[in-house]
Structure 1
Amino acid sequence: MLDNRYQTLLVLTQTKSYTQTARQLFITQPAVTQQIKSLESELQVALVHYQRPHLTITPAGQELAAFVRRVQVQANRVVTSLQHPQVQHQLTFSTTLSLSEFLAPQLIRALQEQGDYRTLTCQVTNTQAALAAIDDGTSDFALIEGNFDKTQYDYQIVREEPFVGVVAADSPLAQKSQVNWADLTATPLLVREAGSGSREILVSLAQAANVTLSEFRQIVTVNNPAAIRQLLLRGAGISFLYRSVVATELASGQLKVLPLPAGHLRHDLDLVYAHDSFFAADYRRWAQILRE
């Protein structure tokens, strides 16, 4: 375990105030200052820059604080596991909304069959919130399709999923042998909210074709894939989703994949967890189950 100075640094990065840090830790303000200076002297690294009244955490301080947070989260989980080895564990994971449609149910069913967990909790959220939940220890791992900083987390690629443009089968666009982005921008675009991994991927795909979302005749923002499916079925526009999200509708012929000339993007779906996690072997095993 790390000594108290590291905990003081962690709180200071959150409060950006010596006074508030002292209050939270029930120590004096000079003690906070002394601990930070002692840590800087020992590590020979500047962690804090203070020019009254502004306090700034240096990049090194931010990186060290993130490491301390990860160590604390992992330590708490390991100690709990050691203290209660005979108790069936609880498991909490996060998933993005798109993956809650097909990947998360597969994992929950697999975990039920293993019978190792009495309590399973699945938190449906966006990519950034899922990563934040890993950071603060409220989520053991996350199923993510959005882009993330791969230097900050360990992860397993679960699969490459086609990210496709979709339209109602009776749309004039569905009758064409090929469509281009100019054809698409004349049609309303059904898109996920800002912060969604799916929206980020669509923006990247459009940019590769030198198109921005603002060029579409109309943008309809909907924060639920199921609602987007219903709008597509009613001919309300086009959308870009993972093929698995609309697999049933494609198989029944109600929806059609747009035939873009450059084809469609295949994007990694990842199981993401904290660096050097004590439970990494479990996460690798579950990722393998999802691959199969």
Structure 2
Amino acid sequence: MFDQRYQTFRVLVATKSYTRTAEELFITQPAVSQQIKSLEAEVGVPLVHYQRPYLTITPAGQQLAAFIQRTQAQSTKLLNDLRQPGQQRQLTFSTTLSISEFLAPQLVRVLQRQGSYRQINCQITNTQTALRALQTGTSDFALIEGNFEKHAFDYQVIRHEPFVGIVSATSPLAQLSRVTWADLTNYPLIIREGGSGSRDILLHLAQAANVSLADFPQVITVNHPAAIRQLLLANVGVSFVYRSVVQTELAAGQLVELPLASGRLEHDLDLVYVKDSFFAADYARLAAQLR
């Protein structure tokens, strides 16, 4: 969809080298330089700063490169959909770990019922990586529970999910009719890794109560909700998760939701995609089936 100058610029951003770009595109290095200068003249802003031996991409250049990548990915998807029978279509989505266990399976079942996709690719990751996949065009949309810059993306709210404090039923905290943050700081805290939306939400909750990680006797960082669930069952400490993550264990009486007045909130679960996506109507219909 873009002329050769844009494609050349996209490769240059990836390689950070005029020489490697020329080799990859089978053109001369002066041709690469000429195309980049022509593109800069057209858009009216510097895209590249080159001072031997260092080449850097300007902020405007980074934005343009991301736009090219996203648009090219959408163009490829549209053309594939037009060229191939419905059963041959493919879809790639990202989902954050915290909701991969309960919302991603529901999404896959919805897609199966539609019968439109022969290949469905699910990438389980954290919030920041999922957003980067949207920006680079390697993911069509993402299921996200963490905080993100909502002005930078389009999104559909799927539901409001309770985010709650959880302990083992055998924990002394489970016997209390009222729990404070001061009570929590007597126990180890099990928390997700950096980049996780759940971690960010928990840190904001704690900050609002004037509590920091340093107030806990021990902080255990775990990068998967299933492992956090097992640690909670083993009465290792306290954690905060989406209620749906531990719904089975709560119903069985193995885990207990803490009666913490200032430690419970409902957070949006969102289906997120790039702004002005050609497929926005499809994503809105998909979100509606997940509600």
TM-score band w.r.t. shorter chain:
over 0.9
Instruction: Note if contact 2:87-2:117 (Cα within 8 Å) is conserved in structure 1.
Output: no
Matched position secondary structure for 1:151: helix
Q: Give the aligned partner of residue 75 of structure 2.
A: 75
Q: What aligned pairs does 1:1-292 form with structure 2 within 5 A after superposition? A: 1-291=1-291
Q: Distance in 1 between matches of 2:196 and 2:24?
A: 34
Structure 1: tracts of 5 or more residues without a match: none
- Which AA in structure 2 matches 1:282? D
Deviation digits for residues 4-27 of structure 1 (CA, Å, limit 9, x no counterpart): 111122222222222222222222
Deviations 1:99-150 (A, max 9, x none): 1111111111122222222222222222222223333433221111122232
DSSP 3-state at the match of 2:72: helix
Q: Deviations over 1:42-100 (max 9, x none)?
A: 22212122233332222111111111111110111111111124544222222111111
Report the Cα distance in structure 2 between the residues aligned to 1:159 and 1:74, rounded to whole angstroms. Answer: 27
Quote the Cα distance in structure 2 between the aligned partners of 1:86 and 1:283: 17
Deviations 1:213-263 (A, max 9, x none): 232111122222122112212211101000111112222322222222324
Q: 2 CA distance for matches of 1:93 and 1:231?
A: 29
**What is the distance in 2 between the residues matched to 1:234 and 1:44?**
61
Letter in 2 for 1:160: H
Given that residues 87 and 118 in structure 2 are in contact (C-alpha distance below 8 angstroms), is that contact kept between their aligned partners in structure 1?
A: no
Name structure 2 gaps, 5 residues minimum: none
Q: Which digits, 9 at most, give the CA deviation of each residue in 1:160-192, with x for residues without a partner? A: 111111111232112222222222122011112
| Identity among equivalent pairs (%) | 68
Q: Secondary structure at the match of 1:92?
A: strand
Structure 1 counterpart of 2:264, one-letter code: H
Looking at structure 1, the residues matched to 116 and 14 of structure 2 have their Cα atoms a distance apart, in angstroms, of: 36
| Structure 2: distance between partners of 1:33 and 1:69 | 20
Stretch of structure 1 that moved more, 196-205 or 254-263:
254-263
- Rounded Cα–Cα distance in structure 2 between residues aligned with 1:186 and 1:152: 40
Helix, strand or coil at the partner of 2:240:
strand
Cα 1:230–1:20 change in 2 (3 A) is same
1:15-42 deviation line (CA, Å, top 9, x unaligned): 2222222222222221121111111112
Q: Name the SS of the counterpart of 2:211 in structure 1.
A: coil
Structure 1 residues 118 and 126, CA gap change in structure 2 (3 angstroms) = same
Which whole-Å CA distance do the structure 2 matches of 1:278 and 1:90 have between them? 16
Q: How many residues align?
A: 291
Question: Which stretch of the first structure deviates more once superposed, 10-19 or 154-163?
Answer: 10-19
Query: Which one-letter code corresponds to 1:242 in the other structure?
Result: Y
Work out the CA distance in 2 between the residues paired with 1:86 and 1:266.
Answer: 38
Tell me, in whole angstroms, the C-alpha distance in 1 between the residues paired with 2:88 and 2:44: 45
Q: Distance in 1 between matches of 2:117 and 2:12?
A: 36
**CA 1:94–1:225: 2 relative to 1, 3 Å:** same
For the residues of structure 1 that align with 2:86 and 2:112, how far apart are their CA atoms? 18
Q: Flag the 1:71–1:36 CA change in 2: closer, same or farther, 3 A.
A: same
Return structure 1 stretches of 4+ with deviation > 3 angstroms: 85-88, 135-138
CA RMSD of aligned residues (A): 1.8
